[in-house]
Amino acid sequence: FPYTTLFRSAQIRCKKKRIRIEKFLDNIADAEVRLILRLRYVDGKSWLRIGTILECDGSWARKKVLKYLKNNQ
């Protein structure tokens, strides 16, 4: 049963991290950046896939996020 306890503990840690990430994302005023970050870091999409979803180049989405993070440290 120690694996059950370890698994449950890991689940709780992941849930707490997810809540922190969601709160961070909720505080981003730019809806496009918020969506890109959610697609990348919550949904695990590649930059290429994000570009396809947003009908743009994946590198544009990545650069937009990098610019946002640089300006909002």
Q: What residue has token string 């990348």?
A: 40
- The Cα 54–Cα 73 span in angstroms is 25
Q: Model pTM?
A: 0.79
Give 15-30 pLDDT, tens digit per residue. 999 999 999 999 999 9
Using an 8 Å Cβ cutoff, are 8 and 43 in contact?
no
For the record, the structure tokens of 32 come out as 């496009």
The answer on pLDDT for 2 being more than 90 is no
